Structure 1
């Protein structure tokens, strides 16, 4: 009786270990099953669907070519979507389900830093690699998750660039109001703007983190009263659009209006029309930058054309970063010659391969940091400043990448 009990105990422990490591010994398949967690509903659905377009385009192109080639044989990919519904807790549950029920080989990660921060510990527990194509909060990389990577650099890596561009204009701006929405990415964006402005001697008249979805009109009324040269805001899609509408409503135009993600998204210009003109933003990719891809697309231009053909919507840097996440997995899998379904040992090897990855893609260089504050974030890209000019996001800084001079100061709303 005692012997049976002991044997049963060890069998249970062994089974638990298999479950925790996500070893799918009972499954045989000739394709990679790829989990995708993103927000297809809720407040972040616009950005979530941008990541979806990026992941879908990678999968479609890989499968059009027969699959991921591993040691002379090609394996198709199948994407299995889980809707995070713009809620971190829902995203964490989705990650659990993708591993334990769907038995995915690896994960393409969420839109938004908050959801990513909730999913990463779950995937760490099950030892399943994830690359996010959009999350930018430095909080993710400070956690030093072994199994989580990101193709877009954190905002504290990119956020100082547009402030430096603005500081170089004539006459240079002297004052700023900086706001951020109360979520991981937006707060980090506002913090990056503030740190860069202070370092360059720009006086911060007001700095505030505001509740998500807050009516920004009262804050813009303060701006109208204090007349800062720069208004900078860290937020998401609809918040950015509503900020411009608030300024338009009270008829105040700062010399410069700076945002981050969202400016390059086509929905921003579509929603605002001529009121989007002159707004500054930050990015690491546009369809016009010179890149040399070794996998799937030869350069940024060809990817942009493929994206436009597939979705009838111009690609922005989040869509491109999401596609690049798929490419990173694709190249690393080929390097270690791992075939589906992936075992625990193969997933460990996949992590090691991703850490050593250094490849040229249509998106630019993918090079995940192996240590330091950017651990497992992509540090192979150059941050860029863009400005909406004639309805397009045009690079205006740094000087060596500039496609046009910055329009400064902004034209008043009633003169457009």
Structure 2
């Protein structure tokens, strides 16, 4: 995430120590020391283990660790008919991008990791990308969602979660197919801040692809009275209102719409709807609000490591005591990408510098089905090396609970459309 609502991140280095030849010692970026034939592959995790993003950082760590624990229980990653366990090393970005870059360098130079698993926030991810390029070490990012990560065309970084500009736009196509009578017009509100603006732009750009008509696109400040904007949109009477913003602006859109007695046939927002604080703040007025998720435990996907999405959920819940969200799932799926690429690469640990470049190339050719959904990385354009394959899941608050309503194969309840008048 980003340049996203998850803000920027740092991390304190927490990994073990290892003998290394540093850049300063040899006047070159990195020399792989003569590691004897190793028994394990080394993976470095960079995420927010302290600071304001610690909760999200813990989500990423749980996902990466769940994969490592699961494959190690099976004997490790399979390569050339043998199995090799995965050893995890950790770097704390302390919720700050610059510290994340420092942590990545230490993991590579001191711990000699073969691969990195990426940070919680897109800000830290962007800061780490030049380190990956400098040392020619691949990174698989299970959390980053800002399109700015992929617009930079990072050679050594690969993203599991589709960026917000794609998921928000695609979600309108899902909504359009479910609407009856068919939705025709859309008004979009974007909050003028990172992530929120990108989400709003995704909604805006997705209108035409969904076969709908854009009647308004309004960019609003994060704080302030929304009455003029909602009044203007109400006069246009669009079928759908789409909003890119954090929880508080989303809540204010609902409150302002009700105060003006304006009720569109559908109100769609982004991930904030899944935050319990949204429904708690609005009570019954939250009902009917639609949101977007890139993964839910109900999706109809499976793989040979975790099984079905439901089985993965049970496994994660048993380990941590809480149901996994899409971030934890995306991070666990990052490990599946690594395991698949290592198997195809056919190189046993420890990897040489040349092997790590070859591993990057193997990751780029990923084309697998997982409990998280399909994973295949873009090879050109503004989403270079991002996985934009998964179809977003449309969720709706019904009776105070968040349920999946589309696409049909992932739905747990019918889509309420059009929304009834305010009570």
Give the TM-score range, shorter chain: 0.7 to 0.9
Structure 1 window deviating more from structure 2 (281-290 vs 386-395): it is 386-395
- Counterpart position of 2:244: 234
> Could you report, residue by residue, the CA deviation over 1:334-387 in whole angstroms, capped at 9, with x for unpaired residues?
222333332111111111211222222211222222334432222432233222
Aligned to 1:223: 230
- For the pair 1:308 / 2:317, whether they are aligned, the reply is yes
How well do the aligned residues superpose, as a CA RMSD in angstroms? 3.2
C-alpha offsets along residues 48-82 of structure 1, whole Å, 9 cap, x if unaligned?
Answer: 33222211211221222232233344332232222
Equivalent of residue 193 in structure 2, options 141, 161, 182: 182
Of 293, 298, 314, 1:288 maps to 298
User: In the TM superposition, what are the counterparts of 1:2-401 in structure 2 within 5 Å?
Assistant: 15-17=26-28, 20-21=29-30, 23-26=32-35, 29-167=38-176, 169=179, 170=181, 172=183, 174-180=185-191, 182-183=193-194, 185-197=195-207, 200-208=211-219, 210=221, 214-215=222-223, 217-219=224-226, 222-223=229-230, 226-227=233-234, 229=238, 230-235=240-245, 239-240=246-247, 242-247=248-253, 252=259, 254-255=263-264, 256-264=266-274, 276-294=286-304, 296-390=305-399, 392-399=401-408, 401=410
270-279 or 85-94, which deviates more: 270-279
Shift of 1:139: 2.5
> In structure 2, do the counterparts of structure 1 residues 318 and 304 end up closer, same or farther at CA, with 3 Å as the change threshold?
same
Match of 1:6 in 2: none
Secondary structure of the corresponding residue to residue 136 of structure 1 = coil
Contact 2:300/2:410, CA 8 A, preserved across alignment: no
Q: Is the 8 A contact 1:162 1:280 kept in 2?
A: no
Q: Give me the whole-angstrom Cα distance separating, in 1, the residues matched to 2:64 and 2:284.
A: 31
What are structure 1's unaligned runs of at least 5 residues? 1-11
State whether residues 161 and 398 of structure 1, in contact with CA within 8 Å, keep that contact through their aligned partners in structure 2. no
Count of residues in Structure 1 that have an aligned counterpart in Structure 2 = 391
Q: TM-score, with normalisation over the residues of structure 1?
A: 0.81
Deviations 1:77-108 (A, max 9, x none): 23222233333323222222222233222111
Structure 2 residue runs without a partner (length 5+): 1-22
Cα contact 1:156–1:188 (8 A) shared by 2: yes
The answer (yes or no) to whether the contact 1:178–1:207 under 8 Å persists in 2 is: yes
SS of the residue aligned with 1:76?
A: strand
The alpha-carbon distance between structure 1 residues 374 and 288, as it changes in their structure 2 partners (threshold 3 A), is same
TM-score, structure 2 normalization: 0.80
Q: 1:121 to 1:202 in 2, by over 3 A?
A: same
What is the CA-CA distance between 1:307 and the residue it aligns to?
1.6
Please report how far the alpha carbon of residue 325 of structure 1 lies from its aligned counterpart in structure 2 after TM superposition. 0.3
Segment drifting more, 77-86 vs 128-137: 77-86
Distance 1:112 1:69 in 2: 31
Q: Decide whether aligned partners of structure 1 residues 43 and 310 sit closer, same or farther in structure 2, where only a CA change above 3 A counts.
A: same
Say whether the 8 Å CA contact 1:180–1:208 is kept in structure 2. yes
Identify if the C-alpha distance between structure 1 residues 257 and 52 changes in structure 2 by more than 3 Å, giving closer, same or farther: farther
Deviations 1:217-239, CA, capped at 9 Å, x for gaps: 5236742675365543334xxx3
| 1:195-227 C-alpha deviation (Å, 9 max, x unpaired) | 2236655445452264xxx43x52367426753
- Asked whether the equivalents of residues 24 and 343 of structure 1 are also in contact (C-alpha less than 8 Å), the reply is no
